[in-house]
Amino acid sequence: MAASYSRLLAEDSLLAVEADDGDLLYFSCSPASCAAPSRRPPPLLLPLLAGGGSAHSLTVPCSERVPAAQLHAALRRALDAERGLGRPLPLFSLQPRERGFLLLQPGRSKAAQERRLRPLLAAHLPYLRVCGYELSCGDRVWQCPWGADGARRLVQKAEVDPAVHPAVSTLRREAVFGCWKEAQRVLRECIPFIPEARGVLELWDKCPKYPQKGNFPVIVVEGLDATGKTTLTQSLKESMRAVLLKSPPACINQWRKIFDNEPTLIRRAFYALGNYIVASEIAAQSTKSPVIVDRYWHSTAAYAIATEISGGLHNLPVHHHEVYQWPEDLLKPDLVVLLTLSHEERVRRLQSRGIEKTKEEAELEMNVRFREKVEELYKRMENPGCIPVDASPPREAVIENVLHLIENHCLI
Ligand SMILES: Nc1ncnc2c1ncn2[C@@H]1O[C@H](COP(=O)(O)OP(=O)(O)OP(=O)(O)O)[C@@H](O)[C@H]1O
Ligand SMILES: Nc1ccn([C@@H]2O[C@H](COP(=O)(O)O)[C@@H](O)[C@H]2O)c(=O)n1
């Protein structure tokens, strides 16, 4: 019988592990005294442990955002580099709120896995919760925390309904910032270890904080890579005698690679503040001429959500969720055009372009699910929403269609 998160949390701790197919499997851990005998052990763990394998979970408390994000990323790197410990499956703990990994290792005892893990985790141990898993009576799985004071707890499969992805509740705090103050706060905390964060913040300090749009139209062009944004924005610039801007803006572009290699929290704060910096340029330019913007807030939000929410479309936050709403303190464009293209044609264009692929572009090509999520997310954005435009006709036809759309929407 499915239970709500809140009922489960009342008596147990609740964990969700992301299996290889992207689906989430929930399990709860409770003192043996309050465990219902009818519940079954999680299918991931039972066969593995029964077959002589071993499992450990490593989780990082989420209370302090920046150190937690860094520790999580450091763990990921350490686990990826260490061969023979099993692939780290993403793990979410809902009570207490933590994030980490589950390591499943066939054919190795718990003690042997622990011996491999101890030196790897030594420097991080004070900030981590580590638990081993063991089997007793043939079908009872126990969670055994490292450290003296942790009593072992019985692990059982939890049927959770409604199945809201556990990362949904942390999106606002960790990936899709609702205002510039949040993004600024994150980057400020990064200054001690990312000096470039100071550079971004100094530029931001010089920008007006709530700039207003001028009388000329502001048109944003969005879409997956190679859908034709550059081609279209260049043509619009010429035919409308417009100014062409990009987000992130040129003034912070030299630091982009650095932030792209940082954990989600820091990376998304960089792109978010980039949008606010470009907003002040939009405000200034739109007093003099039409403005075309190549990517803006919708890209930042869509890519952030698609990366954070694993699995398929069904895991995305529900329609009209707060993460789909335009931030109140960010200058709004008059029109947002979303270029849409079939997967096959987009890959053909990517290949014919033949320039170096970024990590996310490579992922888009490989990962159909991720691409579907980004496209769907663009469509869920609100206030303003994106107007889809078919990007498959020849260049001239796409440009013509968009010019019509602009005429109708912006009355120019
Ligand atoms: N309507 C079109 N028909 C055929 N090819 C096109 C069309 N529009 C653009 N292209 C070609 O597709 C490729 C990708 O276009 P473009 O660089 O404009 O995409 P993009 O969305 O800006 O990509 P990115 O976001 O990766 O920079 C280019 O080689 C471009 O010449
Ligand atoms: N406003 C923006 C712009 C970009 N991003 C991130 O960058 C990637 C795409 O950039 P391209 O230069 O390849 O077009 C995309 O993966 C986004 O993560 C962003 O977040 N916000």
The ligand placed nearest to the CA atom of residue 377 is 2
pLDDT tens digit sequence for 293-351: 999 999 999 999 999 998 889 899 999 999 999 999 999 999 999 999 998 898 889 88
Q: Which residue ranges of the chain lie beneath pLDDT 50?
A: 1-2, 4-10
d(CA 298, CA 222): 7
Residue nearest to atom 11 of ligand 2 (CA): 225
How far is Cα 107 from Cα 50, in angstroms, rounded to an integer? 10
Q: State pLDDT tens for residues 23-42.
A: 888 998 988 776 666 678 88
Residue nearest to atom 4 of ligand 1 (CA): 394
Q: Does the beta carbon of 227 lie inside 6 Å of ligand 1?
A: yes
User: Ligand 1 pocket: which of 230, 347, 364, 402 to mutate (most atoms <8 Å of CB)?
Assistant: 230
230 alpha carbon to ligand 1 midpoint, in Å?
6
pLDDT of residue 320: 98
Roughly what angle, to the nearest 10 degrees, separates helices 343-353 and 359-366?
140
Within 10 angstroms of residue 279's Cβ, the number of other Cβ atoms is 30
- The distance from CA 66 to its chain's CA centroid, rounded to whole angstroms, is 15
**What pLDDT, on a 0 to 100 scale, did the predictor assign at position 5?**
46
Q: Which CATH superfamily is domain 175-410 in?
A: P-loop containing nucleotide triphosphate hydrolases (3.40.50.300)
Q: Are strands 140-145 and 97-105 parallel, antiparallel or unpaired?
A: unpaired
Question: Domain spans of the chain?
Answer: 5-166, 175-410
Burial 3-33 (b: 16+ CB within 10 A, else e): bebeebeeebbbbbbbeeeeebbbbbbbeee
Name the token pair of 77.
């790197």
Nearest CA to 12 out of 211, 162, 225, 156 is that of 156
The residues near 129 (Cβ < 8 Å, ≥ 6 apart) are 57, 58, 59, 60, 61, 98, 100, 145
Q: What spacing in Å lies between the alpha carbon of 321 and ligand 1's midpoint?
A: 32
Give the pLDDT confidence score for residue 36 in this predicted structure. 67
Give me the helix-helix angle, 395-410 and 229-240, nearest 10°. Answer: 60
